[in-house]
Chains A and B, each alone.
Chain A
Amino acid sequence: MRITVTVNGQQRQADHVWAGESLLYLLRERLGLPGAKNACEQGECGSCTVYLDGEPVCACLVAAGQVQGRSVTTVEGLAAQRVQQAFLEAGAVQCGFCTPGLIIAVHDLLARTPRPGDAEVREALAGNLCRCTGYEKILDAVRLAASR
C-alpha cells in the first residue's frame, strides 16, 4: 500500500508498504529517520516514542497504515533543544539508545506539567527503560530542563 504522512512538518510518501509494518519500521527503514529506536518492538521499552498528532505513542505498536494522512514528529524534528541540552549537561546520556524516546517523553511531560515533582517525573517516565544510567541523571536532566 501507499502511505502519505506528514513527518516533522514535511509531507512524505512511502510505496509498497506491507500491511504488517509498524510506524517504527516506516520511519526507520522507509523514510530514513532512525532516531526512534527499536529496543523491543513490543511496546515495553519506550525507545521508539514519537508524537502522533501531538500524542506520544510507541511507534512499534502503531501499524504503518494507521498513520495515513496524520502527522508524526520524531526526535529528529523537535525544534526546541531545552530537554536535549539538559540531558547532555546532566550526564543523562551513556549509550544513548533510550535517549530519543526519553527526550520525547520528557518534552511531553514538561509541556503538560512545567514543574513536575520527582514522583510525577518517575510516573511519567515509567515506560522508558534505560539500562545504563540507573535513572539518577535522567531525573537530574528533567529537573534541569524544568528549571529553565
Chain B
Amino acid sequence: MTAYFQIDGVPIPFESGQTIMDAALAAGQYIPHLCHNPEFRPHGSCRVCTVRADGRFVAACTFPASEGAKVECASDELRELRNGLLQMLFVEGNHVCPGCEKSGACQLQAVAYYCEMLAPELPHFFPRRHVDASHPDLAIDYGRCILCELCVRASREVDGKSIFAIGGRGIKAHLLVDSPSGKLGDTDMSVHDKAAHVCPVGAILIKHRGYDRPIGQRLYDQRPVSVVGDVIQAEETRDD
C-alpha cells in the first residue's frame, strides 16, 4: 500500500527515503526552491523551501517525508517567510535585473515573481564584488552569486574537476575558483562542463551569446517557474 502525507491538504504519495521535496516534485506539487535540484544531493542552504511539517519549520529538500505528516506550504506565514528570504538574497548581492543578461531566464527572479516578492524592502548591502572575464568562453559576475553551490556540486560530482569551493564566512562568504590566481581562465573549466550550465542566476554566464532571446520568448516569460521548472533542466533542453 502506498504511503501518503499531505501538503496543504493535498495527499502526496511517497516512497521511504524520499524527502518532502522529492515526493512533492514527483507528484507535480511545486515547492519554491533555489539551491535544490533533483540531479544533486540536497543542500538545504537557501531555505526558500521552508515548510511546516507537523508544526515544525523544516527545509522540504532535506526533511524526510513520513506517513500522515501534515505539511503546510502556502500559509500566509510561510509566504511571508519565503518572501523575506528572497528579499535577503536580493539585497545581499547586486541584482540589477533590467540590465542583467539572465533577466527573464533567472530562477531567482522567477521564484520571486512566483512568490510575489516584487521589490525588496530591506536595506541593500551593495557589496563590492568583481567580474571575472578571464575565461575565453565563460564569465563570472560575483555580484550575483547566491551561494547555492550548484556549480560546486556539479563540478565535483559530475565533471570530476572541483573547480569551485566556498571561502570566507558569514556575509563575507564567497565563491572560490580553484587556481592559484583565483581566476577561472587559469582552470581547466570547459563550456561543456555541467558546472557551466547549472547557475540559477546570472553569476556564471556563457560568453558570446548575451541577450540572444527577445523579451517575450525568454525562459520564464510565458509560464511561471512552477510549470517551467529549474534553470538546469531548461538549459539542457535549449534548442541550440
Specify whether A and B are partners: no
